[in-house]
Structure 1
Amino acid sequence: MINIYNESILVCVYYGPNGERLIKRGCNIAKMLKAPLYILTVDEKPFDELDAEKVFYIEQWKKIADEHQDAHFIMKDNEKRPVSKVIAEVARKKNVTQIILGQTAQSRWQQITKGSIINDLLHDIPFVDLHIISVSRYIRNDEGLYEKGVRAYLIKEGNHYKLSFNHTKDSVYEGIFFKEIGTDFDNGLFRFMKGAETLQVQVCDGLVTDFTNIDASTAMSLNDLDNE
């Protein structure tokens, strides 16, 4: 692909369902401008200390990047510097001209939408256009909705799928299970990749009988994910 407009796009994502939306926005802009696309996430922990939920999102983002021409995934783990400094460094190295950020309060990225951090970015990389994208909100654990997600699998059994927390040769889908708080049964939501599509389906007593995608952000009143 010839970059006729001399543009380069950087999408900054954090864990949660909004990352995929931001990446798709970046893909559309990159395709329109025939520009390279970089997908960046930052974590203060080393990669081998990340939990199953975070690793799942990273795997999703890598897969999306692999499916788009001239898209590259960048993971900055064990990073103690301010997020704005990391973004600026990547922007300089990759000759980025446009940055896409999600307007979210998730973890360290809540700083991004505050004026001081935006000013830091504008000061450090004044040659870059910043796009602040409004995003839907996510599950907050202390609202009594769902427990922290854990890695799980779906095994085909007749006309339905059985939830399992152990990987076996019969595992069909791998994803993250969010258990409803206050129940002794495996009721909740299972999020996984089916081909190029991300699905979130209902789990009732450890079984999935319907692959209808559930949009939890609109079906319930949800808030931002807590800092860890």
Structure 2
Amino acid sequence: MRSGSDVDGRSSLRLTGNVVALDEGKYVFESMLDGWANQQTSRGLQATTIDSRRRFIEDFAEFCAAYPWQWQPRDLEDYSVRVRPGKGPLKRSTIRGYQTRIRLFCDFLTDPRYGWQAECLARFGDAPQQICHDWNTISHLLDHEGDPGRRALTFDELERFFDAADARVEAIVRARRKGALAALRNAQMFKTIYAFGLRRSECIGLDVADLRSNPVAGRVRLSGGLSLRCDDQLSLV
């Protein structure tokens, strides 16, 4: 018995000769996860994101005690209400993140281009369905749903923050103390992160060669592009 996976996310299920899978349901489920992983890899998602989503779907299937072609909307609703991995209730943004992962996996299974509905219908008499809909999932209505203490800064607050970072450099220079160069570096890092929407790890990995002008867009003058290298992949922002 062997299972092959194409780069577009379609997993081919093949039985060699008269060999029958001992646990056909598990065999098909793992092939679904392999195909979904290939689809996400083809989209350029990071391996850590793909692995995290896979483990989550495996945990959800264990919670439901059923395979994806047996899932019903009530399974999602029961999970959203009952799952409490830590102390106290989960935040709305966390629950919505869980629901989004399940929605994405169901979207993959119900996409006719991958053939999983027909495959499961022929094998088990049931087909996967989208169990997430507008009436059992949390909508994203607010720009910030997390802890108010960690909200995004307003434009006025950002301006005061950058002014304070620049003023620190000037204060160190006037006092003739060490640390002016480090303070200047920090001020520029803050502005670069804000200007290009970088993560901390992306900013730390920047080099001078990653900053370049754009000769095609002369109207931007001193502004240019920024090349990011993430997991050996290059992207331009």
TM-score under structure 1 length normalisation: 0.21
- With the length of structure 2 as denominator, give the TM-score of the two structures: 0.20
More strand by share: 1
Q: Which has the larger radius of gyration?
A: 2
Which one scores higher on RCO, CA 8 angstroms, separation ≥ 6?
1
* Structure with greater helix share of residues: 2
